[in-house]
């Protein structure tokens, strides 16, 4: 991929070594003494690190993985209602900069959905280098050239994912990943290097996969080559990658343009795969459009893109007037710096999208996009 000019989001996100990370500076990092929501956040004193017990207790469990001597901690939410012998779906939720796994759990409100629909949630956290030197940002935003299959943060997250699948007997065909901000950048990397592990992805306030280059392209740039780069990274594992993109159109940290490029990239990747398999492609225009308003909150627009069979393989949720926040998250004051409860629930939107897909394709008959 030839050198090119990148959007200034790179500098704004502190991608250069030694610079301050300001993807979280537009939304100041939470106090380390503030307590997360008591309804959904993991306790810092309960649930010991994951051990090799035969039947781990439901609720929050903790563990860690080692990637080339770098230790990455994580938390796992297992709904108490989940039967021990059930092959439940697994959703991996990646935090942004200046945020911990526990804070992400509290802000996202994913646990309530997991309890209702009986799936497992994995909240990965960064290693000491990411935490101490780069403001708790995943390397997908500050050093994507250090990422790859079995390498870097992406390798560690994949290891965590496989560990949880084995440990809690999750369904390996129904594993999904979503991340916000730096976590969104990292999720795009997971889609490129691990299409055989993640059945669908969500990119919240993130950007397209750019190979070794962080950020996204400036307005007016030709984004067609982005799809080729992602397809090359997928290699022989390439497949249609369903994606839901959620972005505020007033985001001052990661411009809305980056989210638009993310949905465009993965739709083009899907078309390249479908063309290679001699299947009808995904039209460039949406199959459905919906406008709505959260009572007392933000208006939003949902564009749905369907394949030749009518299955929605891509969605773009545009939250009008929202900045750099998790949409529709916790209203608890402890989450106020990185969650905007006035938006539609990003957890509900992404889970509704994920639950239609497995690694083998649609899990149920497709309906007309709307």
Residue 364 CB burial class (10 angstroms; 0-12, 13-18, ≥19): exposed
Question: Residue 13: pLDDT above 80?
Answer: no
How high does pLDDT run on average in the chain?
Answer: 84
Non-local (6+) Cβ contacts of 281 within 8 A are 270, 271, 274, 275, 307, 308
- Four-residue CA torsion sign, 200, 202, 208, 210: negative
* 168-206 pLDDT, tens digit each: 999 999 999 999 999 999 999 999 999 999 999 999 999
Q: How far is CA 329 from CA 15, 120, 334, 349, in A?
A: 27, 18, 11, 12
Question: Residue 134: pLDDT above 90?
Answer: no
Domain boundaries, the chain: 58-362
* 219-275 pLDDT, tens digit each: 877 778 889 999 999 999 999 999 999 999 999 999 999 999 999 999 999 999 999
Secondary structure of the chain: what % helix, strand, coil (to 5)?
30, 20, 50
Three-state DSSP class for residue 201? strand
User: CATH assignment of 58-362, given 3.40.50.300, 3.40.50.1820, 1.20.120.80, 3.40.1030.10?
Assistant: 3.40.50.1820
Question: Residue 328: pLDDT above 80?
Answer: yes
Q: What is the pLDDT of residue 84?
A: 76
Non-local (6+) Cβ contacts of 301 within 8 A are 289, 290, 291, 317, 318, 320
Q: What is the pLDDT of residue 360?
A: 94
Q: What is the pLDDT of residue 364?
A: 85
Whether residue 95 contacts residue 137, with contact meaning beta carbons closer than 8 Å, is answered with no
* 262-304 pLDDT, tens digit each: 999 999 999 999 999 999 999 989 999 999 999 999 999 999 9
């Amino acid at each position: 991929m030839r050198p090119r000019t990148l959007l200034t989001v790179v500098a704004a996100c502190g991608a250069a070594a030694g610079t301050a990370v300001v993807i979280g500076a537009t939304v100041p990092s939470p106090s380390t003494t503030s307590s997360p929501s008591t309804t959904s956040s993991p306790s810092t004193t309960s649930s010991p690190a994951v051990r090799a017990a035969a039947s781990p207790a439901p609720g929050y469990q903790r563990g860690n993985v080692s990637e080339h001597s770098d230790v990455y901690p994580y938390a796992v939410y297992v709904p108490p209602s989940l039967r021990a012998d059930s092959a439940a779906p697994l959703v991996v939720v990646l935090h942004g900069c200046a945020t911990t796994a526990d804070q992400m759990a509290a802000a996202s409100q994913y646990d309530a959905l997991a309890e209702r629909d009986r799936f497992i949630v994995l909240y990965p956290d960064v290693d000491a280098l990411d935490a101490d030197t780069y403001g708790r940002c995943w390397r997908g935003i500050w050093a994507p050239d250090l990422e790859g299959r079995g390498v870097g943060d992406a390798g560690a997250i994949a290891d965590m994912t496989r560990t949880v699948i084995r440990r809690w007997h999750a369904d390996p065909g129904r594993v999904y990943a979503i991340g916000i901000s730096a976590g969104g950048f990292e999720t795009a990397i997971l889609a490129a290097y691990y299409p055989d592990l993640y059945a669908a992805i969500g990119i919240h306030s993130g950007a397209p996969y750019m190979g070794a280059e962080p950020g996204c392209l400036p307005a007016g740039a030709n984004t067609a080559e982005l799809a080729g780069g992602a397809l090359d990274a997928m290699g022989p594992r390439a497949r249609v990658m369903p994606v839901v993109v959620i972005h505020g159109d007033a985001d001052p940290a990661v411009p809305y343009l980056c989210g638009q490029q993310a949905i465009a990239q993965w739709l083009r990747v899907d078309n390249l795969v479908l063309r290679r398999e001699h299947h009808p492609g995904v039209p460039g225009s949406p199959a459905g459009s919906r406008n709505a308003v959260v009572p007392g909150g933000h208006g939003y627009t949902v564009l749905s893109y369907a394949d030749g069979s009518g299955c929605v393989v891509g969605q773009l949720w545009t939250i009008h007037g929202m900045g750099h926040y998790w949409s529709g998250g916790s209203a608890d004051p402890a989450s106020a710096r990185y969650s905007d409860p006035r938006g539609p629930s990003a957890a509900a939107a992404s889970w509704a999208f994920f639950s239609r897909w497995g690694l083998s394709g649609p899990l149920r008959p497709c309906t007309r996009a709307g």
